[in-house]
Amino acid sequence: MNQTQNILDVTKEQSEKKLMLEIVDLRKSFGNNHVLNGFNLELFEGENLVIMGKSGSGKSVMIKCLVGLMQADSGSIKVMGKDITKLNRVELDNIRTEIGFLFQGNALYDSMTVRENLEFPLRRHKKKFENLTDTTPLITEALESVGLAHTVNLMPSELSGGMKKRIALARALILKPKIILYDEPTSGLDPITSKEIIELMRRVQKQYKTSSLIITHDVDCARVVSERMILLVDGTNYAEGTFTELASSNDEQVKAFFK
Amino acid sequence: MQKNSAIKSFFIEIGELTYFAGRFFKEVFSRPFEFKELLRQCYSIGNRSILLVGVTGFIIGLVLTLQTRPTLQEFGAESWMPSMVSISIIREIGPVIIALTFAGRIASGIGAELGSMRVTEQIDAMEVSGTNPFKFLVVTRILAATIMLPILVIFGDAIALYGSYIIENAKGDVSFVLYFNKVFKALEFSDLIPATIKTFFFGFAIALVGCFKGYNCKKGTVGVGKAANSAVVYASMLLFILDFIAVFITDIFFEI
C-alpha cells in the first residue's frame, strides 16, 4: 500500500515538473547489430537521471542520437518539447545551446588554451546573452565554478586528468545550458579524483539548476548523484527506479550491476 | 574475390571524396564565414611551408643548372642556360616539385591533425557546441591551401632561378643583370599563367585529400597514422593526374 502511494506521489511530482528530455521508442542498428531496440526515457526539470548498462548496451549511441551526432533509425527525441529529428541545422544548433555535453575523453581542443576552449561555444551563440561584449566574466564564472580560475592561460596538455575533466565541465556550462549530459564522467580517474568530480557535479547542478543525464558504469557515482536510474540491457529499458530500489532488487541481471 | 573488393572499395572512396568535395562547394558559399580562422590557416600553412619551399626551390635551381650545363657546353650553347632553366622551372619543375613537398608537409599535417581531433571526439565537441566543424576545420584549410600554394610556388620559382644564377655566376662568370635579362626575355605570360593557375588546383587537391582522410578517420590512433600516410599518397597521385590534365589543356590553348 505504502509502495503504491510512493509511486503515485513520485508520478504526481513528476507530472508537475517540466519535461526536459523525452525519448520514445528509439531504435538504431548498424547492419545486423541492433544497438537500440525501442529505448524510452523521460528527464524532468532539475532531475539527475543515471543510465547504467554494460559496454555495448547502446548507452553512447543513445547519447549521440540525443544531441544529433547520430541519426536514429526510428523513434522521437524531444528536447524541451522540440523533436530534434525534425529540426534543420540552424534550429538544431540553437537547441544544442541548451545542452551541455561532458565527453568521456573530455574532448578539449588541444591546440587552444583553456580560455579559447571556453570561448569557442560562445563564438556563434553570443546572442543568448544580452549585450555580451566581453566574454571574460562568463569564462571566469565557469572556471570558478569548477575551482580552476588560475588555469585560464594554460594549454590542455599542461593539465592533469582531473583538471581536464573540470575544464571540460566548465566548457559544457559556459552557455548556461538547462540540460547536462555526462558520458562516463569518472572513467579513467583515480578514486579520489572521481569523488571530487562527483561532488563537483552535485555542486554544479545546484548552482546552475540543470537537469542531468549521467551515463556511467561507476556504482559509487550512481549512488551519490542519481535521483532515478534506468538500467539499459540490449538496447532497451530493463529496469527503472531509485538507486535503493534497484540495488535491493532480486533480479539476477539487476544485481549484477551492483556487485 | 579480394581483387574485386579492393576495386569496389577504391570506387567507394572516390565517390566519398567527390561527395566531400561537393559538400565543400556547398558550405564555402553559405554563412557564417570563418574569416578569422581562414587567415590563421593561411598564416599557419604558409609559415609552416616557406622554409621547406625555399630550400627545395634553391636546390632545384642548383641541381638543374649543374646537370644541364655539361650537355649545353658540348653544343656550345651555355648562353641558352637561363632561358632553358627558367622555362623548365616556371612551367613544370617548380610547380610540381614544390607542390609535392607541400603535399608531404600539409596533406599529412592536416590528415593527422583532423584525424586526432576525430578520434578524441574534438570534432563531435565542436558540433555539439553549435559550430559547424566542416566549415570551421575543412573549408578554411582547403581555402587556405588553395590561396597559399600559388604564392609559395612563385616564391619557390624565384629562389630556384636565384640558385641557378649562383651556379652560372660561379661557372660562367655571368652577372645578375645579364642572367635575369635573359630569363625575362625567354619567359612569356603563356608560361607563367597556366603554371600558376594549375597550382590553385594542386593546393585545392592536396588540402581536400588531407581533410577527407583526417575528417573521416576511424580506428583510433592507428587510424590517425593511416590517415596521415594515405593523405600524402593520394594527394601526390592526384597531383600528377591534375598536372597531366593541366598540360593537356595548356597545349590546346597555348600550343606549348
Q: Is residue A221 part of a domain?
A: yes
Contact list, A108 vs chain B (CB under 8 Å): 122, 125
User: Which carries the bigger pLDDT value, residue A106 or residue A56?
Assistant: A106
* Facing A125 at nearest CB: one of B127, B128, B130: B130
The answer to whether B131 contacts chain A (CB < 8 Å) is yes
Write phi, then psi, for A174 (nearest 5 degrees). Answer: -60, -35
Query: Which DSSP state fits A55?
Result: T
Q: What share of chain A is helix, strand, coil (3-state, %, to 5)?
A: 45, 25, 30
Contact list, A179 vs chain B (CB under 8 Å): none
Q: Please compute the mean of the pLDDT values over residues A156-185 and round it to a whole number.
A: 90
Question: Positive or negative, the Cα torsion across B233, B239, B245, B251?
Answer: negative
pLDDT band at A14 (very low <50, low <70, confident <90, very high): low
Q: How far apart are CA A235 and CA A61, in angstroms?
A: 9
B5: exposed, middle or buried (Cβ count in 10 Å: 0-12, 13-18, 19+):
exposed
Q: Is residue A93 part of a domain?
A: yes
**What pTM does this model have?**
0.85
Q: What is the pLDDT of residue B255?
A: 63
Q: What is the pLDDT of residue B254?
A: 72
Give chain B's residues under pLDDT 50. Answer: none
* Minimal-distance CA residue of chain A relative to B125: A107
Q: What is the pLDDT of residue A10?
A: 54
pLDDT in tens, B30-76: 888 889 999 999 999 998 889 999 999 999 999 999 998 888 888 88
- Residue A44's CATH number: 3.40.50.300
Q: What is the pLDDT of residue A1?
A: 47
In Å, how far are A31, A152, B62, B130 from A123, measured between CA atoms? 38, 17, 49, 9
Q: What is the pLDDT of residue A114?
A: 94
Contact list, B113 vs chain A (CB under 8 Å): 111
Q: Is residue A160 part of a domain?
A: no
Of A231, A177, A185, residue with least CA distance to A205: A177
Q: Is residue A109 part of a domain?
A: no
Amino acid at B7: I
Q: How far apart are CA A197 and CA A219, in angstroms?
A: 14
Q: How far apart are CA B147 and CA B224, in angstroms?
A: 26
Q: What is the pLDDT of residue A31?
A: 85
Q: Is residue A90 part of a domain?
A: yes
Q: Where are the domains of chain B?
A: 2-254
Domain region containing A25: 17-98+217-259
Q: What is the pLDDT of residue B252?
A: 83
Residue A228 to chain B, least CA–CA distance (Å): 25
Q: Please compute the mean of the pLDDT values over residues A214-220 and round it to a whole number.
A: 88
Q: Is residue A27 part of a domain?
A: yes
How high does pLDDT run on average in chain A? Answer: 85
Does residue A202 carry a pLDDT above 80?
A: yes
ipTM at complex level: 0.84
* Facing A123 at nearest CB: one of B120, B124, B131: B131
Q: What is the pLDDT of residue B95?
A: 93
**First and final C-alpha spacing in chain A:** 30
The answer to whether B126 contacts chain A (CB < 8 Å) is yes
Q: Please count the structural domains in chain A.
A: 1
